[in-house]
A and B are shown apart, each in its own frame.
Chain A
């Protein structure tokens, strides 16, 4: 090593070993990078150091002699000389461990953490051999539930404050705190306020002892019995990296894996505990066919024959344009690609959509100009979030924005019809009535009135603009106009978002009337011709229908058959009643799904599909980052991969989609889909465990780059308008089929401002009738003073729907 330190590095000496470490690093982190592990409990690399467990004490030489100090609170300085193994340090560390253990119950044999417990591990490595403590240990009632998902054992707790700091610093819902003091200090919730955080499971994962346990995992396995595989969370499009852990062919838990690009170790509780649906006894395990008495179990041969012959007879009679496909946004890229190829090349239809009438312009999602990365938030000076409440729809993106606005000092502008999870850390919050968002956008762009300060903030680049559908009564134009506004800011990247887990992958795979695989345009004759060459089949032109169009087509009789891939439009379409009625009129529905649903109840044939953890493949997140999902489990009985089912149907129709394995499909994608060139199966496997591959890579050409268009529209003026938006825990399959999450879904209610309520004679908690564009419902009214006046808010998919029209009426019921 030369005497000169590399720029950005400083030279320090640890235990006589000279080394270069990054300037500004905390000593504990620098030492670890350089190969010296200093024991710790309270320090966590993703949270601010607090230096309170005192485990990481080391000696640092200084002008006034050697000083005992916590290495988690000390930044490295050039020339620093550190001792981590001196007698003084060893005695101090042994002393701290002995102190931690005197009141610890040492019930490791019955503790979930046993076997993966930092207290166990570090006691073995750094602790005293035996205890000298003969007094009675501290006792608390144990365990106590602090939420529906988390139990607290205060006897095991070593008061490292990781959980309390997480809830305050990272997730922003400080519902747990130290109470009492001295040896009576304990972590507790506040009276009558449970630890109702969307992120509570992270505290279980970062607890260095077994003090916090999850109801979903408690007493289910020992760590050494678990099989594990890294994968990508299937619950939303953030694409959090997880470790899937199972025992005896059952998924038992998901743990967050720390990757810089996406989740930085954290997960939301829906992601963490939402695995339970995979183990549900309701999983489909055999094909089913419509009989006189609903769906009946059928053999694979009969079901495949029925699906193929049904599709062929409709094609024969009405042409391939009478067939449509909806879905593909919940599975892998390989499944979506197989779905798109099946529909376009085997059926010959251009009516296919991965979005369910609740999305944005597909080209804006798949190939936006000036697309940003989540990581851009780390260096952003300003952020605009105009779209969904990220805490409800993309929770870990919420954490990343929150971190940028709090820890990293970015100015945050949030525009939404009501309070969002980010409002308390926003520098500017803007409200608008659904239907009048463009008015606000004009005012923001012009810097008028209260929007002036927000505009000034957004002109401080770098800026990240996150945009999406704020509510389901809004069309996609507003988000696109926001994206166009964002591009005009001096130094901005744009991140258009949609929620469904692999919607970005499905669009990239061409499951959209407008898109061909690899972000090519379906109206581009050349691109279609190239694809025809690859597939050896004609590719229909780009005039196909999206989901709304397909539903219209069903209503009009133009569409007669629908293939559903992991989609339930009868529930997920913004106007579910309309979609349900339309599907009921279909002559043929072929559904591939993990569960029966409202939509499959109308199907002719239902195929049991393997799901997450049961199939391998790739997924693409909202940044265009391709990551792998792993297969760890066999799945239930006769369920098969969706692509294999599609291949078997194709074969019976006299065609083929060439789907023999996920790897084979992935290899074809790399060849056929221009933006995915270079993202080979091997490359993805290599990038697995790190940050995945953002497509297009430097070696690939992305055929289209979509420049968002601002299409001004006149504001809709109505007495009362509907804000229809998603909540994290809703009536969806992945929530309702899991024991832990199902009970967290809220009771449906309609929210109204106290002023509007007064005008309408409605009291908080009273019964009202809400009437909308397609139906009416009786439900409870709740006051929400954060709502923009003249609007009511109805959470989507909690069992109540009045259609997705903007205009609603509300009347008090006696």
Chain B
């Protein structure tokens, strides 16, 4: 059974996996050729639906279901590819953009064909100039070769792809903030509903999919959606790129079939922890995700199993922290990030995030008060009522509640260590 889809070409041909000739020589654009020659848009959409792929941007929503939300009549429709990849610890889309951009271009073309879209946008984070250049080069090649533009491959299908580089805001990875940014507005999330599928870019029906999600589409057309659905356990079909970082010997992107254990991922593919130090905790799915603990090492890596542990696979960023990590410092770093990246429109996120950040900074530097411990949790509760999972929120988008994940992680699992900062006037480590 296939255990890798996205990274086979770049591994086999590290020198030129990003150029058209190599892509074509390794079966590239065959799916598009087949689709345009002999398949209807509905058939393509059906394959994607049948694959049961869940979106790789972080929310894990079934992509085929999302496609089904488009109102049937309204045109134009837009396809927006989310390449903002700004969740700390996530660097998988970067690799896909840099090293196999044609795979994405073909995925976009197939999806646009399926969705009756004539204009697609790829929104790439501002800190990714090289991925953007690589993608633009691939797009230029594709136009040149007739895979994009008007009358693609002699069919009646037209498609333009526009690459847009963001300005450096985390929040623009949130799909509606991304759309605002693309329209030239401030990157601020919109209130949903309406969802982008109904009223998105320029108030038109818009599908927003992640880079990795769409990079899988050529496989689904070449091999069939059922073939994709045969990979991995139910609810976590297909392969998935994990960005492994932190205290591991072999950090990097790992394409795996979900269902292996965390131990397999961290100690197997990741090579374990340098100097064989003990693992203290890890972030399973990006900075927004509550942390997992050593007792979870033998839990399976699937969307639903992780959800059962009241956290998430999110964008697939796994950050490992060993016993030398100060959890207050780690939490502070993450909360500082979210406080800084709050778009500023919702009161609880804007004010609460920076309040949490400043309390953690104070505790870390030894100026904490015992009453700050409950205050940390109560302020978090005012951003994310009940501190439940999945989080409730007093905000428009989940950025605010994201800032509470590291707070609850350390307060619930490492309260003694936090208290020690207060009683000892600083970090005990």
Contact = CB atoms under 8 A, between A and B. Distances in A.
Interface in B165-179: 169, 171
Contact of B350 (A70, A98, A185): A185
Nearest to B169: A181
Given A52-B396, A68-B385, A68-B394, A178 B186 contact: yes
A182 B359 CA distance: 16
A132 interface: yes
Given A92-B385, A181-B169, A52 B355 contact: no
A571 interface: no
Contacts of A132: 375
A52 B396 CA distance: 7
A114 B275 CA distance: 63
B342 interface: yes
Interface string B340-384: 111111111011111100110010000000000001000101110
Contacts of A594: none
Contacts of B171: 181
B392 interface: yes
Contact of B355 (A68, A99, A158, A185): A99
Contacts of A194: none
A180 B379 CA distance: 23
Interface stretch (A53-61, A476-484, A674-682): A53-61
A70 B190 CA distance: 13
Which of B171, B342, B345 gathers most chain A CB within 10 Å? B345
Interface in B87-132: none
A99 B396 contact: no
A133 B355 contact: yes
Interface in B375-408: 375, 379, 381-383, 385-386, 392-396
A181 B382 contact: no
A55 B340 contact: no
Contacts of B65: none
Contact of B352 (A73, A99, A180, A184): A99
Contacts of B345: 50, 52, 159, 161, 178, 185
B351 A183 contact: yes
Given A132-B375, A182-B340, A182-B341, A53 B347 contact: yes
B191 interface: yes
Interface string B254-293: 0000000000000000000000000000000000000000
A9 interface: no
Given A68-B394, A91-B385, A99 B347 contact: yes
A103 interface: yes
Contact of B342 (A51, A73, A178, A181): A181
Interface string A30-67: 00000000000000000000111111010000000000
A96 B341 contact: no
Given A88-B385, A92-B394, A135-B359, A183 B339 contact: yes
A95 interface: yes
A43 to B, nearest CB: 12
Give the contact-size bracket for chain B.
Answer: 35 or more
B346 A52 contact: yes
A95 B348 CA distance: 8
A68 B347 CA distance: 15
A99 B348 contact: yes
A102 interface: yes
Interface in B142-182: 169, 171
A96 B394 contact: yes
A100 interface: yes
Interface in A219-267: none
Interface string A160-194: 01000000000000000110111111000000000
Contacts of A52: 345-347, 396
Nearest to A103: B351
Interface residues of A, number: 35
Nearest to A49: B191
Contacts of A53: 346-347
Interface string A184-211: 1100000000000000000000000000
B191 A51 contact: yes
A420 B92 CA distance: 52
Given A96-B394, A135-B359, A183 B348 contact: no
A94 B381 CA distance: 12
B351 A100 contact: yes
Contacts of B359: 135
B394 A182 contact: no
B382 to A, nearest CB: 3
A102 B351 contact: yes
A69 to B, nearest CB: 10
Given A181-B343, A182-B340, A54 B191 contact: no
B143 to A, nearest CB: 36
A89 B340 CA distance: 27
Interface in A85-118: 88, 91-92, 94-96, 98-100, 102-103
A57 B394 contact: yes
A153 to B, nearest CB: 17
A54 B348 contact: yes
A53 B346 CA distance: 5
A182 B382 contact: no
Given A68-B392, A102-B351, A182-B340, A91 B346 contact: no
Contacts of B346: 52-54
A185 B344 contact: yes
Contacts of B343: 181-182, 185
Interface string B312-354: 0000000000000000000000000001111111111011111
B348 A96 contact: yes
Contacts of B342: 181-183
Contact of B351 (A50, A70, A99, A161): A99
Contacts of A135: 355, 358-359, 362
A182 B351 CA distance: 8
Given A68-B394, A91-B385, A182-B341, A96 B353 contact: no
Contacts of A178: 186, 344-345
B347 A96 contact: yes
Which of B352, B392, B394 gathers most chain A CB within 10 Å? B394
Interface in A708-725: none
A100 B348 CA distance: 8
B348 A182 contact: no
A87 to B, nearest CB: 10
A133 B356 CA distance: 10
Interface in A618-660: none
A182 B392 CA distance: 20
Nearest to A57: B394
23 contacts: A51-B396, A53-B346, A68-B393, A73-B191, A88-B386, A91-B385, A92-B394, A95-B379, A95-B381, A99-B348, A99-B350, A99-B355, A100-B347, A135-B358, A135-B359, A159-B344, A159-B347, A181-B343, A182-B341, A183-B344, A183-B351, A183-B354, A185-B345
Interface of B: 169, 171, 186, 191, 339-348, 350-355, 358-359, 362, 375, 379, 381-383, 385-386, 392-396
Given A96-B382, A182-B339, 18 more contacts: A53-B346, A54-B346, A54-B348, A91-B381, A95-B348, A95-B352, A95-B394, A98-B382, A99-B351, A102-B351, A135-B362, A178-B345, A181-B342, A181-B344, A182-B343, A182-B344, A185-B344, A185-B350
Question: Which 8 residue pairs are nearest across A and B when measured between Cβ atoms?
Answer: A95-B382, A185-B344, A99-B351, A183-B354, A182-B342, A52-B345, A135-B358, A181-B344
